[in-house]
Amino acid sequence: MRAYPQFFQVTILILLLSLFNACGYKPSAKYSREVVGERISTSVTISAQDPENTVIIKDAVDSAIVEVFHASLTSRNYSDTHLSLSISPPSYTPVQYNNDGYVIAYRTTITLVITRETSGVKKSYSTKGTYDFSVVPNAVITDQERFDAIRFSAAKAISAFVAKVSAEGSRKNR
């Protein structure tokens, strides 16, 4: 009697694996790697208005390259693709108020302009990322809240870039 549930589990697992294999499923990182290659270099244009944000963006981009593209970071001389990034000044928009009219939640919006140079061919992308966060009523946004909001919204903008590159890679394979 106990052999039947285990048999069904194994059968379901085999069916799921064959379903993914039969439909031609490929992870998006594979498509994006076909576009950008295995070795990537990055540079970020430093904002004179807010240089601290540039460091946050650079760190977010570098970690996304390793985690999402599954590629290695190299110097520009040895890279298959070079990514040049510039960040717009972050905007903070009130999105929620309490009963007394004080702002209790903000939305941070970041726009990244990313220029991808692969084999001498340049292509520009513009991506946007947002992040909502709450604050104490009638309080000033702290530096830590601001840095976290910029980091999370930049990560979303980078994810949007990865999605665009993956879509390019999937269209190439058709």
The verdict on residue 135 lying in a domain is: no
Q: What is the CATH number of the domain that holds 65?
A: 3.30.160.150
Domain containing residue 160: 27-87+110-126+143-172
What stretches in the chain show pLDDT beneath 70? 1-4, 20-31, 172-174
CA–CA distance, 102 with 82 (Å, rounded to integer):
45
pTM of the predicted structure, to 2 decimals:
0.74
Spatial CA neighbour of 103 closest among 57, 70, 134, 66: 134
Residue 15: per-residue pLDDT:
77
The verdict on residue 95 lying in a domain is: no
The verdict on residue 120 lying in a domain is: yes
Considering its fold, how many domains does the chain have in total? 1
Q: What percentage of the chain's residues is helix, strand, coil (to nearest 5)? A: 45, 30, 25
- The mean of the pLDDT values for the chain is 82
